[in-house]
Amino acid sequence: MSKCRTASSLGGFLVCAALACACATGQSPADGDDDGGGGDTGGPDAGDVTPLPDAGVPPDAMTGGRAVTLTHSASMTITDLNSIACANELTGFTAESSYYRVFNLAAAGITAPLTVAQVSIGIENAISGGGTQPASVRLHALSGAVSTANLTPIGSADITVADSQSLMVVDVPVTGTAPADAQLVVELYLPDGLEVGNTFYPGSNAMGQTGPSYLRSPTCGANDISDIAALGFPDMHLVMAVEGTW
């Protein structure tokens, strides 16, 4: 049987009622941090995407377009011991999983195809058997309900995550163009770490979000993309931002 653990101790297992194998932090957010889920109860159309005019995209990437940063994160600060992951009870190693954000381009005022240049992802805890571990940032266009069956891949980038990158926001260059009438889905994919001795918890906080954070982890029973709040963890708001032009 798999259970969940705190990110600080491989031996600190707690029983998770909502998602077997998912990690519960056992930590309450600081006063004022919890906004009650920040839009977790609705689908992607229920939350507002926050577009920021200063995208920070390199000048050559902005040629011929308007730069924009999209995020559902009220803060890009990573809170330690706040994230969940599908972990083995005895070893603490984490299973193959994906974490997602969904961005409604029309809601952000984007009326032309969006070309992504970079995705910023948060890393709470990365511990590997050899000092580094692989991960991927994948871009999709979504048509219809939030489900893997409705995703069309439009770009991806493989990355190597070092153990030293825990509690950091990492900028990942990745390109792909989403149609203006689609929703952009950003996936942080983590291969299975159970056999190779890897542990990975994405960065999150409980400081508010304008759209749901999502998880897919078949080993723990989340066979398709699932709202993390609906799994019983409303305070896990993924830290993620997308930069691009349109």
Task: Provide CB contacts within 8 A for 59, sequence distance 6+.
Answer: none
pLDDT band at 64, cuts 50/70/90? Answer: low
Using the predicted structure, report yes or no on whether residue 241 has a pLDDT greater than 90.
yes
**Cβ of 8: how many Cβ atoms within 10 Å?**
12
- Tokens coding 203: 């960065």
Residue that has been written with the tokens 């048509």 in this structure: 143
Q: Enumerate domains of the chain plus CATH numbers.
A: 35-79+95-245 (2.60.120)
Per-residue pLDDT at 65: 86
Tell me 28's DSSP state: P
By mean pLDDT, which of 33-47, 166-180, 202-216 is the weakest?
Answer: 33-47
What distance in Å separates the CA atoms of residue 151 and residue 172, rounded to the nearest whole number? 21
φ, ψ for residue 33 (rounded to 5)? -80, -35
Name the pairing type of β-strands 151-162 and 132-142: antiparallel
Question: Within 13 Å, how many C-alpha atoms sit on residue 228's CB side?
Answer: 34
Task: Provide CB contacts within 8 A for 75, sequence distance 6+.
Answer: 205, 207, 208, 239
The secondary structure of 78-130, three-state, reads: CCCCCCCCEECCCCCCECCEEEEEEEECHHHCCCCCEEEEEEEEEEEEEECCC
Question: Within 13 Å, how many C-alpha atoms sit on residue 24's CB side?
Answer: 17
Q: pLDDT tens, 140-151?
A: 999 999 999 999
Using the predicted structure, report yes or no on whether residue 39 has a pLDDT greater than 50.
no
Using the predicted structure, report yes or no on whether residue 40 has a pLDDT greater than 70.
no
Residue that has been written with the tokens 């266009």 in this structure: 141
Q: What is the pTM of this model?
A: 0.79
